[in-house]
Amino acid sequence: MKKNKLKGYIYLIISTIIYGLFGIFSRNTSDFGAFSQGAVRYVILCTFLLSLFLLKKVTWKKIERKDVKWFLTWILPASFQPVLTFVAFTHLPVGITYFLLYSTMILGGILSGKIFFHENFNFGKLISLVLVLIGLYLIYRSDITLITSVYVFVALLSGLIVGFWNTLTKKVSGNYPELQMILLDGSSTLSVSLLGLIVVHEVLPPISNVSTWLWIIGFAFSGILSSLFLIKGFKEVEAQVGSLILPMELIFASIFGFVFLGEILKVNVYLGGLLILFAAIVPAYQESYGKTN
């Protein structure tokens, strides 16, 4: 059991490192529109995964009737999330975007735990929610007008959806291949992206823009790997204990933002971010030591 949990921790850390690069991928694929980047990414993702099933590299398992509702609950809201995240990353600093995403991801996890797993909203989780709100205030106190930006709302909504998505994987991940789950999830997101692409008449960048197309290909495969390691990790690690590891994405994202984009966050942003990280640790610490109300 301990060995499996260790593997779960390692999988989640690898996932956070890859997710930490998503802001960089978004910036380097900004020639795409919000829907066209999703459409291209998920065409690549779905084509690759579908080929694995057709070539019998992975065996497809028929979805049981009792699991259909959980797949729909898990997949449908998340279909819009990549578009929301892309928009946020292309209009807000990478570091701040990650802080916003994680603040509502924590809230989403709390709500999902209450609704779907009948978890108690105990004192530790209340402290976490308060710390998130304080952290947000510290991040924006120097420019509180930024909080009214529509892109801030987009980032917050995206994080909330991610919080539910992370948690709900545990409902079905033990019964189906991870790549099958990713393919189903990706197919739904592809449908939304294609519909948006058609409605708003977005134009793809020219093929001659080799750099942008290489980045979007890398973006697609990084999405497969990050989701794969996330699902595998949560199979072995409790949802709340996993929150000890997932916020490490913020650290990697800040490092990548500094190295590749030269972004330097102010002291108040770091302090707010630390509070948000601590907010993720409190309920996980409680569960680890069996202190629940």
Q: What is the rounded (10 degree) CA torsion for 67, 193, 247, 2? A: 30
End-to-end CA distance of the chain: 26
Name the residue with higher pLDDT: 172 or 124. 172
How many helices and strands, by DSSP H and E, does the chain display? Answer: 13, 0
Q: pTM to 2 decimals?
A: 0.79
Average model confidence (pLDDT) across the chain: 82
Q: Tens of pLDDT along 194-250?
A: 988 888 888 899 999 999 999 999 999 999 999 999 999 888 877 766 766 777 777
Which of the four pLDDT bands, split at 50, 70 and 90, describes residue 292?
A: very low
Q: Tell me, what's the pLDDT at 170?
A: 84
Measured CA to CA, the distance from residue 133 to residue 21 in angstroms comes to: 26
Asked if 281 contacts 243 with a C-beta cutoff of 8 angstroms, the reply is: yes
Name the residue with higher pLDDT: 231 or 146. 231
- Whole-number CA gyration radius for the chain: 19
Name the residue with higher pLDDT: 26 or 44. 44
Q: Tell me, what's the pLDDT at 186?
A: 92
Of 67, 78, 147, 137, the residue nearest 112 (C-alpha): 78
Q: Tell me, what's the pLDDT at 43?
A: 96
Q: Tell me, what's the pLDDT at 58?
A: 93
Sign of CA dihedral 225, 226, 230, 231: negative
